[in-house]
Protein backbone atom coordinates (compact mmCIF):
# COMPACT_ATOMS: atom_id res chain seq x y z
CA UNK A 1 0.00 0.00 0.00
CA UNK A 2 1.26 3.48 -0.86
CA UNK A 3 1.29 5.93 2.03
CA UNK A 4 -0.41 9.16 0.94
CA UNK A 5 0.09 11.93 3.51
CA UNK A 6 -0.69 14.45 0.75
CA UNK A 7 -4.40 13.67 1.24
CA UNK A 8 -4.42 15.99 4.24
CA UNK A 9 -2.78 18.78 2.23
CA UNK A 10 -5.13 18.82 -0.76
CA UNK A 11 -7.00 22.03 0.08
CA UNK A 12 -6.89 24.96 2.47
CA UNK A 13 -9.82 23.75 4.59
CA UNK A 14 -8.19 20.38 5.26
CA UNK A 15 -4.82 21.95 5.97
CA UNK A 16 -6.42 24.32 8.46
CA UNK A 17 -8.34 21.50 10.12
CA UNK A 18 -5.23 19.45 10.87
CA UNK A 19 -2.80 22.31 11.56
CA UNK A 20 -0.75 21.47 14.63
CA UNK A 21 0.17 25.06 15.45
CA UNK A 22 -2.12 28.07 15.31
CA UNK A 23 -1.34 31.74 15.59
CA UNK A 24 -3.78 34.01 17.39
CA UNK A 25 -3.54 37.71 18.30
CA UNK A 26 -3.91 36.77 21.97
CA UNK A 27 -0.52 35.02 21.76
CA UNK A 28 1.21 38.26 20.80
CA UNK A 29 2.71 41.19 22.69
CA UNK A 30 3.54 44.47 20.94
CA UNK A 31 6.80 46.17 22.03
CA UNK A 32 6.39 49.98 22.00
CA UNK A 33 8.88 52.82 22.52
CA UNK A 34 7.84 55.98 24.37
CA UNK A 35 10.14 58.98 24.03
CA UNK A 36 10.48 62.03 26.22
CA UNK A 37 10.49 65.48 24.65
CA UNK A 38 8.76 64.76 21.35
CA UNK A 39 5.42 66.23 20.31
CA UNK A 40 4.44 63.66 17.69
CA UNK A 41 5.43 60.09 16.86
CA UNK A 42 8.92 59.84 15.36
CA UNK A 43 9.74 57.09 12.82
CA UNK A 44 12.61 54.71 13.55
CA UNK A 45 14.45 54.55 10.25
CA UNK A 46 15.97 51.09 10.76
CA UNK A 47 12.58 49.60 11.72
CA UNK A 48 10.06 50.45 8.98
CA UNK A 49 6.58 50.94 10.39
CA UNK A 50 7.80 51.38 13.99
CA UNK A 51 7.86 54.73 15.80
CA UNK A 52 8.88 56.34 19.04
CA UNK A 53 5.65 57.52 20.67
CA UNK A 54 4.49 60.40 22.80
CA UNK A 55 2.52 59.82 25.98
CA UNK A 56 -0.64 60.63 24.05
CA UNK A 57 0.05 58.42 21.05
CA UNK A 58 1.13 55.41 23.12
CA UNK A 59 -2.27 55.43 24.77
CA UNK A 60 -3.88 55.28 21.34
CA UNK A 61 -1.63 52.37 20.39
CA UNK A 62 -2.63 50.56 23.57
CA UNK A 63 -6.29 51.05 22.74
CA UNK A 64 -5.63 49.66 19.26
CA UNK A 65 -4.05 46.62 20.89
CA UNK A 66 -7.19 46.05 22.94
CA UNK A 67 -9.42 46.42 19.89
CA UNK A 68 -7.21 44.00 17.93
CA UNK A 69 -7.37 41.38 20.67
CA UNK A 70 -3.65 41.31 21.39
CA UNK A 71 -2.35 39.68 24.53
CA UNK A 72 -0.22 42.53 25.78
CA UNK A 73 1.99 45.57 25.27
CA UNK A 74 5.62 45.92 26.41
CA UNK A 75 6.77 49.47 27.07
CA UNK A 76 10.30 50.83 26.69
CA UNK A 77 11.25 54.35 27.76
CA UNK A 78 13.51 56.72 25.84
CA UNK A 79 14.55 59.59 28.14
CA UNK A 80 15.94 62.99 27.18
CA UNK A 81 18.53 62.93 29.94
CA UNK A 82 20.68 60.05 31.18
CA UNK A 83 23.09 59.54 34.07
CA UNK A 84 25.50 56.95 35.42
CA UNK A 85 22.90 55.12 37.50
CA UNK A 86 19.90 55.32 35.18
CA UNK A 87 17.88 57.22 37.75
CA UNK A 88 15.26 58.19 35.18
CA UNK A 89 14.15 54.57 35.03
CA UNK A 90 13.21 54.61 38.70
CA UNK A 91 11.77 58.11 39.06
CA UNK A 92 7.99 58.33 39.32
CA UNK A 93 8.03 61.12 36.74
CA UNK A 94 10.40 59.27 34.41
CA UNK A 95 9.09 58.69 30.90
CA UNK A 96 8.60 54.94 31.30
CA UNK A 97 6.65 55.18 34.54
CA UNK A 98 4.52 58.02 33.16
CA UNK A 99 3.74 55.87 30.12
CA UNK A 100 2.88 52.84 32.25
CA UNK A 101 0.49 54.94 34.30
CA UNK A 102 -1.18 56.46 31.24
CA UNK A 103 -1.57 53.13 29.46
CA UNK A 104 -2.87 51.27 32.51
CA UNK A 105 -5.38 54.06 33.20
CA UNK A 106 -6.59 53.75 29.61
CA UNK A 107 -6.84 49.95 29.26
CA UNK A 108 -7.26 48.68 32.81
CA UNK A 109 -7.16 44.89 32.77
CA UNK A 110 -8.24 44.56 29.13
CA UNK A 111 -4.60 44.30 28.04
CA UNK A 112 -1.56 42.94 29.87
CA UNK A 113 0.72 45.92 30.48
CA UNK A 114 4.39 44.94 30.64
CA UNK A 115 7.44 47.00 31.57
CA UNK A 116 11.02 46.51 30.47
CA UNK A 117 12.93 46.40 33.75
CA UNK A 118 16.42 47.39 32.69
CA UNK A 119 18.64 50.45 33.00
CA UNK A 120 20.33 50.51 29.60
CA UNK A 121 17.98 53.09 28.07
CA UNK A 122 18.60 55.38 31.06
CA UNK A 123 22.37 55.14 31.66
CA UNK A 124 24.80 57.53 29.98
CA UNK A 125 27.21 54.63 29.35
CA UNK A 126 24.50 52.43 27.84
CA UNK A 127 25.09 49.35 29.99
CA UNK A 128 22.30 47.45 31.70
CA UNK A 129 23.60 48.28 35.16
CA UNK A 130 25.88 50.50 37.18
CA UNK A 131 29.65 50.34 36.73
CA UNK A 132 32.31 49.73 39.35
CA UNK A 133 35.64 51.54 39.62
CA UNK A 134 37.14 49.31 36.93
CA UNK A 135 34.28 50.05 34.51
CA UNK A 136 32.70 46.63 34.92
CA UNK A 137 28.98 46.13 35.45
CA UNK A 138 28.46 45.68 39.19
CA UNK A 139 26.02 42.77 39.42
CA UNK A 140 24.78 43.13 43.00
CA UNK A 141 24.60 46.93 43.03
CA UNK A 142 22.63 46.75 39.80
CA UNK A 143 20.17 44.28 41.31
CA UNK A 144 19.37 46.74 44.10
CA UNK A 145 18.40 49.30 41.45
CA UNK A 146 16.37 46.71 39.54
CA UNK A 147 14.40 46.08 42.72
CA UNK A 148 13.58 49.79 43.06
CA UNK A 149 12.74 49.99 39.37
CA UNK A 150 10.39 47.01 39.49
CA UNK A 151 8.53 48.41 42.50
CA UNK A 152 8.17 51.80 40.77
CA UNK A 153 6.87 50.12 37.60
CA UNK A 154 4.39 48.02 39.54
CA UNK A 155 3.10 51.08 41.37
CA UNK A 156 2.76 52.86 38.03
CA UNK A 157 0.46 50.12 36.82
CA UNK A 158 2.51 47.35 35.22
CA UNK A 159 0.87 43.94 35.41
CA UNK A 160 4.23 42.40 34.47
CA UNK A 161 7.81 43.51 35.16
CA UNK A 162 10.40 42.03 32.81
CA UNK A 163 14.01 42.10 34.03
CA UNK A 164 16.17 41.89 30.92
CA UNK A 165 19.64 42.78 32.19
CA UNK A 166 20.88 39.20 32.73
CA UNK A 167 22.28 39.96 36.19
CA UNK A 168 22.82 36.91 38.40
CA UNK A 169 20.08 36.73 41.03
CA UNK A 170 17.96 39.52 39.53
CA UNK A 171 14.69 37.60 39.73
CA UNK A 172 15.06 36.74 43.41
CA UNK A 173 15.91 40.32 44.37
CA UNK A 174 12.97 41.72 42.40
CA UNK A 175 10.50 39.14 43.70
CA UNK A 176 11.55 39.82 47.30
CA UNK A 177 11.23 43.58 46.81
CA UNK A 178 7.78 43.32 45.22
CA UNK A 179 6.49 41.05 47.95
CA UNK A 180 7.89 43.29 50.68
CA UNK A 181 5.88 46.20 49.23
CA UNK A 182 2.63 44.24 49.10
CA UNK A 183 2.90 43.71 45.35
CA UNK A 184 2.65 39.92 45.40
CA UNK A 185 0.21 40.04 42.47
CA UNK A 186 2.75 41.51 40.05
CA UNK A 187 4.08 39.00 37.52
CA UNK A 188 7.81 38.59 36.83
CA UNK A 189 8.70 37.72 33.24
CA UNK A 190 12.39 36.86 33.30
CA UNK A 191 14.58 37.33 30.26
CA UNK A 192 16.21 34.03 31.22
CA UNK A 193 18.07 33.29 27.98
CA UNK A 194 19.09 36.59 26.41
CA UNK A 195 21.96 36.37 24.01
CA UNK A 196 24.61 38.95 23.06
CA UNK A 197 23.14 39.13 19.58
CA UNK A 198 23.93 41.15 16.47
CA UNK A 199 20.20 41.06 15.74
CA UNK A 200 19.63 43.78 18.36
CA UNK A 201 21.12 46.41 16.05
CA UNK A 202 18.02 48.44 15.09
CA UNK A 203 16.85 48.46 18.72
CA UNK A 204 19.86 50.62 19.55
CA UNK A 205 18.42 53.35 17.33
CA UNK A 206 14.95 52.84 18.76
CA UNK A 207 16.12 53.59 22.31
CA UNK A 208 18.91 56.00 21.30
CA UNK A 209 21.46 53.79 23.03
CA UNK A 210 24.63 55.32 24.47
CA UNK A 211 26.45 51.99 24.55
CA UNK A 212 30.16 51.86 23.86
CA UNK A 213 31.58 48.35 23.60
CA UNK A 214 29.32 45.34 24.11
CA UNK A 215 27.41 43.37 26.73
CA UNK A 216 29.14 40.02 26.36
CA UNK A 217 30.12 39.80 30.04
CA UNK A 218 26.48 39.44 31.06
CA UNK A 219 24.41 38.51 27.99
CA UNK A 220 24.91 34.94 26.80
CA UNK A 221 27.29 33.54 24.21
CA UNK A 222 25.38 32.61 21.00
CA UNK A 223 27.43 29.40 20.84
CA UNK A 224 25.89 27.98 24.02
CA UNK A 225 22.64 26.31 25.03
CA UNK A 226 23.57 24.46 28.25
CA UNK A 227 24.01 27.74 30.10
CA UNK A 228 20.59 28.83 28.84
CA UNK A 229 19.02 25.82 30.50
CA UNK A 230 20.91 26.64 33.68
CA UNK A 231 19.73 30.27 33.55
CA UNK A 232 16.13 29.16 33.00
CA UNK A 233 16.29 26.73 35.93
CA UNK A 234 17.77 29.41 38.18
CA UNK A 235 15.17 32.02 37.25
CA UNK A 236 12.28 29.63 37.87
CA UNK A 237 13.80 28.65 41.22
CA UNK A 238 14.09 32.35 42.11
CA UNK A 239 10.39 32.93 41.45
CA UNK A 240 9.97 33.79 37.77
CA UNK A 241 6.36 33.41 36.66
CA UNK A 242 7.37 33.25 32.99
CA UNK A 243 10.69 32.98 31.17
CA UNK A 244 11.82 34.43 27.85
CA UNK A 245 14.24 33.54 25.10
CA UNK A 246 15.66 36.48 23.11
CA UNK A 247 16.20 36.57 20.13
CA UNK A 248 13.71 34.04 18.81
CA UNK A 249 14.20 33.11 15.17
CA UNK A 250 17.88 32.16 15.31
CA UNK A 251 17.39 30.48 18.68
CA UNK A 252 14.44 28.16 18.05
CA UNK A 253 16.44 25.27 19.50
CA UNK A 254 16.68 27.23 22.74
CA UNK A 255 12.95 28.02 22.65
CA UNK A 256 12.21 24.32 22.17
CA UNK A 257 14.54 23.31 24.99
CA UNK A 258 12.97 25.90 27.30
CA UNK A 259 9.45 24.72 26.48
CA UNK A 260 10.44 21.11 27.09
CA UNK A 261 12.00 21.88 30.46
CA UNK A 262 10.19 24.84 31.99
CA UNK A 263 7.31 24.49 34.43
CA UNK A 264 6.15 28.04 33.61
CA UNK A 265 5.02 29.68 30.34
CA UNK A 266 7.75 30.40 27.81
CA UNK A 267 7.91 33.64 25.81
CA UNK A 268 10.15 34.49 22.87
CA UNK A 269 11.06 37.89 21.42
CA UNK A 270 11.25 38.38 17.66
CA UNK A 271 13.77 41.18 17.95
CA UNK A 272 14.36 44.31 15.93
CA UNK A 273 16.90 42.83 13.53
CA UNK A 274 14.68 39.85 12.79
CA UNK A 275 11.77 42.19 12.09
CA UNK A 276 13.84 44.58 9.99
CA UNK A 277 15.36 41.79 7.86
CA UNK A 278 11.88 40.71 6.82
CA UNK A 279 10.83 44.30 6.15
CA UNK A 280 13.96 45.04 4.12
CA UNK A 281 13.70 41.92 1.95
CA UNK A 282 10.01 42.54 1.36
CA UNK A 283 10.71 46.15 0.37
CA UNK A 284 13.04 44.80 -2.33
CA UNK A 285 10.33 42.47 -3.60
CA UNK A 286 12.40 39.41 -2.70
CA UNK A 287 9.84 37.91 -0.28
CA UNK A 288 6.17 38.34 0.54
CA UNK A 289 5.90 40.41 3.75
CA UNK A 290 2.68 38.94 5.08
CA UNK A 291 3.49 35.31 4.28
CA UNK A 292 7.02 35.56 5.68
CA UNK A 293 5.99 37.34 8.88
CA UNK A 294 3.25 34.80 9.56
CA UNK A 295 5.56 31.87 8.82
CA UNK A 296 8.25 33.25 11.12
CA UNK A 297 5.82 33.72 13.99
CA UNK A 298 4.18 30.34 13.47
CA UNK A 299 7.66 28.79 13.64
CA UNK A 300 8.31 30.47 16.98
CA UNK A 301 5.01 29.17 18.31
CA UNK A 302 5.71 25.69 16.90
CA UNK A 303 9.04 25.62 18.72
CA UNK A 304 7.12 25.98 21.97
CA UNK A 305 6.70 29.67 22.79
CA UNK A 306 3.29 30.39 24.30
CA UNK A 307 3.83 34.15 24.10
CA UNK A 308 5.61 35.98 21.27
CA UNK A 309 6.80 39.58 21.40
CA UNK A 310 6.80 41.00 17.88
CA UNK A 311 6.62 44.36 16.13
CA UNK A 312 4.28 42.67 13.65
CA UNK A 313 1.62 42.12 16.33
CA UNK A 314 -0.96 44.65 15.09
CA UNK A 315 -0.34 43.67 11.47
CA UNK A 316 -0.91 40.01 12.33
CA UNK A 317 -4.17 40.84 14.06
CA UNK A 318 -5.36 42.58 10.88
CA UNK A 319 -4.17 39.72 8.66
CA UNK A 320 -5.90 37.07 10.78
CA UNK A 321 -9.16 39.00 11.18
In this prediction, residue 210 carries a pLDDT of: 66
List CB contacts of 83: < 8 A, sequence separation 6 or more: 122, 123, 124
How far is residue 240 CA from its own chain's centroid? 15
The domain segmentation of the chain, as residue ranges, is 22-320
Q: What is the largest CA-CA distance in the chain?
A: 74
In this prediction, residue 205 carries a pLDDT of: 65
Q: How confident is the model at residue 207 (pLDDT cuts 50, 70, 90)?
A: low
- Burial zone of 234 (CB within 10 Å; 0-12 exposed, 13-18 middle, 19+ buried): middle
Q: Does residue 219 register a pLDDT over 90?
A: no
CA 221/CA 198 separation, integer angstroms? 11
Alpha-carbon dihedral angle through residues 5, 9, 13, 16, given to the nearest 10 degrees: 80
How far is residue 61 CA from its own chain's centroid? 16
CA 203/CA 118 separation, integer angstroms? 14
Mean pLDDT of 38-64: 96
Strand 160-163 versus strand 187-194 pairing type: parallel
Residue 249: name the closest of 302, 320, 175 by CA.
302
CA distances from residue 90 to 116, 230, 292, 321 in whole angstroms, order as listed = 12, 29, 39, 39
Considering the candidates 68, 246, 252, 311, report the single residue annotated as catalytic.
246
Mean pLDDT of 86-111: 97
| DSSP state for residue 221 in the 8-state scheme | P
Stronger pLDDT, 171 or 208, i.e. the higher one = 171
CA 184/CA 196 separation, integer angstroms? 31
3-class SS string, 144-167: HHHHHHHHHHHHHCCCEEEECCCC
Q: How confident is the model at residue 208 (pLDDT cuts 50, 70, 90)?
A: low
Residue 228: name the closest of 245, 214, 241 by CA.
245
Range of lowest pLDDT (37-51, 115-129, 153-167, 293-307):
115-129
Q: What is the mean pLDDT of the chain?
A: 94
The 10s digit of each residue's pLDDT in 145-170 is 999 999 999 999 999 999 988 889 99
Considering the candidates 101, 104, 194, 301, report the single residue annotated as catalytic.
194
Query: What is the H or E stretch that residue 123 is in?
Result: none
What end-to-end distance do the CA atoms of the chain give, in Å?
A: 42
- Please say whether the beta carbons of 155 and 91 come within 8 A: no
The 10s digit of each residue's pLDDT in 117-128 is 999 989 988 788
Q: CATH class for domain 22-320?
A: alpha beta
Stronger pLDDT, 126 or 59, i.e. the higher one = 59
Q: How confident is the model at residue 215 (pLDDT cuts 50, 70, 90)?
A: confident
Active site residue 246: yes
Q: Does residue 217 register a pLDDT over 90?
A: no
Mean pLDDT of 235-263: 97
| Percent of residues, the chain, with pLDDT higher than 90 | 85
List CB contacts of 120: < 8 A, sequence separation 6 or more: 86, 126, 127, 128, 165, 207, 209, 211
Q: Does residue 247 register a pLDDT over 90?
A: yes
CA 6/CA 71 separation, integer angstroms? 35
| Percent of residues, the chain, with pLDDT higher than 70 | 97
Alpha helices in the chain (DSSP H): 12-17, 55-68, 95-107, 139-156, 170-180, 201-206, 226-238, 252-261, 272-283, 289-303, 313-320
Mean pLDDT of 110-138: 90
Q: Does residue 206 register a pLDDT over 70?
A: no
The 10s digit of each residue's pLDDT in 173-194 is 999 999 999 999 999 999 999 9
> Under DSSP, is residue 242 helix (H, G, I), strand (E, B) or coil?
strand
Amino acid sequence: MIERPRRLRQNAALRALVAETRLHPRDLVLPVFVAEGITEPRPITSMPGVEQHTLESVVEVARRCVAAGLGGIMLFGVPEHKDATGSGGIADDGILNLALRAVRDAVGDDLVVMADTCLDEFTDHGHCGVLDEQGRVDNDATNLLYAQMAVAQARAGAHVVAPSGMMDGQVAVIREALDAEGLEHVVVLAYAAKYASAFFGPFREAVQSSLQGDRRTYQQDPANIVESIREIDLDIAEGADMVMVKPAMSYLDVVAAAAERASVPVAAYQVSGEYSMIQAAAAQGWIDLRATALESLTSIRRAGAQVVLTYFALDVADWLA
